[in-house]
Structure 1
Amino acid sequence: MEIGLSSAVFYPNVKTENSIKLISDLGFLCAEVFLNSPFEYEVDYVKKLVEIKDKYKLEISSVHSFSSSFEPYLFDAYKRRRRDMLKFFEMVCKAGKLLGANCYTFHGMRLGPSDFISKELIHDVYNNLTYIAAENEIKLAQENVSWCMSSSIEYLRNLKENCRYPIYFTLDIKQAYRAGVNPMEYLEVMDTNLINFHINDRDDKHTCLLPGDGTVDFQSIFNKIKSLNYTGNAIMEVYSNNYKSYEDIKNSKKYLEKFI
């Protein structure tokens, strides 16, 4: 396990292509690449990212998309809309394959009324998505997100038990606490299908902080993850207003290394 960094920590101040060198310069050996616009899903652009990551010998363990623009509509009751949104999903999968990523961090359906959407439709969509991801040699990693259906333990359990192909998972600490759920509860469901880990901190006044700046019991979380024989990385994912300097990020990485 390595401590990695998400390119999202630099949004919106650093272009994605420039974030790769920056991540490497900060001493990280692996990263999650957050593709911030449909332009960044294009093959020619992704090939440039591949050249840069190869130059700096940075492992890209996962990709994340500008998900709110299309992922919720992959489950839309209107078939034509689902079909159109699938084009973006396929582009991100292909980008992930080119970058050598192991998984695609996925948000999926938003919380809200779903009168026109049945469980059968949800399962069918996931069956299609996981199949497309597998065709591109990456795994769909459903993230627990506080404002999405995936904030529900029961929803995640239902996917795991009823989808045709394996559902993998990304655990995000801040999203767990925002949903009012202990991260350990998510890990009970994710179990050995955990494939990606977003690590961040919190306290009574802040829902997202750099690891080491809050009160999260990382030792217990790492112990649990290790008991699941987790072989992925711990990707630091915070917001650009959660640190004052890049030195803060480096110090947070050093803090986390004692747990691995």
Structure 2
Amino acid sequence: MKAGVSTACLYPRLLEESLYDLAVNGIDHVEIFVNTDSELKKSYVSGLMQTLKRFEVTCRSLHPYSCPMEPMMFFSVYERRVADALEYYKRYFNAMNILGAEIFVFHGNKNTMQISSEFYCERFHKLVSTGKEFGITVAQENVSRCTSGSLSFMKDMVRLLGDDAKFVLDTKQAVRAGENSFNILRTLKNHIVHVHLSDNGELGDCLQIGRGRFNIKQFLGVLEKESPDCSVMLELYRSNFDGISDLVNNFHTIENMIAAAQKSGAK
């Protein structure tokens, strides 16, 4: 396990500025959230890579700005649009190859658009196969407003896709969907390859670490047992913290918790 921070925390600050702010403050592992099409240009992505190299930062994952369009792009009955979407998503995968990122975060279909699990997995697998051509793992995030918000649906994905069913576990999205992060983790086990972490409690479902009641130490202990190769990315909204120092403090807190979980797991 390795702690990191998503550039999405600093949205709507420009991506290159967000990455620089995290890097210059000693955060050495990140998820990059691409906010618009021009941020996929090779020259722009190469600039991000120079920042990563300069500050010795690694990038584990990439989150696409186009996720709200994925229901139309991937899950309609218009096959040509699916083919075009797969070609477009190769731009993300090319960017990831430059950045050294391995995990692609996918939202998928809205839960208001009723399709079968079989149809969903057929389309998802097309993207998985395309990602593999670039050495990329496409991972389904458990987004509450999407079909994937349900643990039962994610279990269907494992049943239908086997080892090709990979997941990003987002703790705040689990709360919003009425699911339990521990249940998701213990059920899906090493099918979970990435984590978006925040605290939650009476004050909200997306809080700084230690501001809520979520037993993060226990969660990381289970994660160490079930899927120890995950990156654990702090993902907060801009309204959930005051400044960059909060992100740095949260990052180090997660680092210390991971170290404790690893030490305990090694006993």
Q: Is residue 20–residue 58 contact of structure 1 (8 Å, CA) maintained in 2? A: no
Q: Is the 8 A contact 1:2 1:29 kept in 2?
A: no
Aligned to 1:55: 54
* Cα contact 2:67–2:106 (8 A) shared by 1: no
Whether 1:94 and 2:94 are equivalent positions in the alignment is yes
* Deviation, structure 1 residue 165: 5.7
Percent of aligned pairs with the same amino acid: 28
| Residues 23-42 of structure 1 mapped to structure 2, 5 A cutoff | 23-42=22-41
In structure 2, do the counterparts of structure 1 residues 226 and 47 end up closer, same or farther at CA, with 3 Å as the change threshold? same
Secondary structure at the aligned position of 1:145 is classed as coil
Q: Deviations over 1:104-156 (max 9, x none)?
A: 01111111132xx4443322212211111111111011111111111011211
Instruction: State the shift of 1:164 in Å.
Output: 6.5
Alignment partner of 2:101: what SS? coil
State the Cα distance separating 1:181 from its structure 2 match: 0.7
- The separation in 2 between residues aligned to 1:26 and 1:76, in whole angstroms, is 44
Q: State TM-score, norm by structure 1.
A: 0.93
Aligned with 1:259: secondary structure?
helix
Q: Are positions 1:258 and 2:256 aligned together? A: yes
After TM superposition, list the pairs within 5 Å mapping 1:1-260 onto structure 2: 1-12=1-12, 14-73=13-72, 74-114=74-114, 117-163=115-161, 166-260=164-258
Using structure 2 for the length normalisation, give the TM-score. Answer: 0.90
Any idea what the Cα deviations from partners look like across 1:71-113, whole Å, max 9, x if unmatched? 2221112222222322332211221122111210111111113
Specify every segment of 5 or more residues in structure 1 that has no aligned partner in the other structure, as ranges.
none
Q: Secondary structure at the match of 2:200?
A: coil
Q: CA separation in 2, counterparts of 1:5 and 1:53?
A: 13
Q: Secondary structure at the match of 1:66?
A: coil
Aligned length: 257
Which letter does structure 2 place at the counterpart of 1:38? D
Q: Following TM superposition, by how much is the alpha carbon of 1:69 offset from its aligned partner in structure 2, in angstroms?
A: 4.1
User: C-alpha separation between the residues in 2 aligned to 1:209 and 1:237?
Assistant: 9
Determine if contact 1:33/1:64 at 8 Å carries over to the other structure. yes
In structure 2, relative to structure 1, the CA distance for the partners of 1:30 and 1:109 (3 Å cut) is same
Contact preservation (8 Å) 1:63, 1:103? yes
SS of corresponding position for 2:204: coil
The whole-number CA distance in structure 2 between the counterparts of 1:178 and 1:232 is 22
SS state of the match for residue 4, structure 1? strand
After superposing on structure 2, the runs of 4+ consecutive aligned residues of structure 1 that deviate more than 6 Å are: none
8 Å contact from structure 1 (residues 196, 234) kept in 2: yes
Counterpart Cα distance in 1 of 2:23 and 2:45: 18
Gaps of 5+ in 2: 259-267
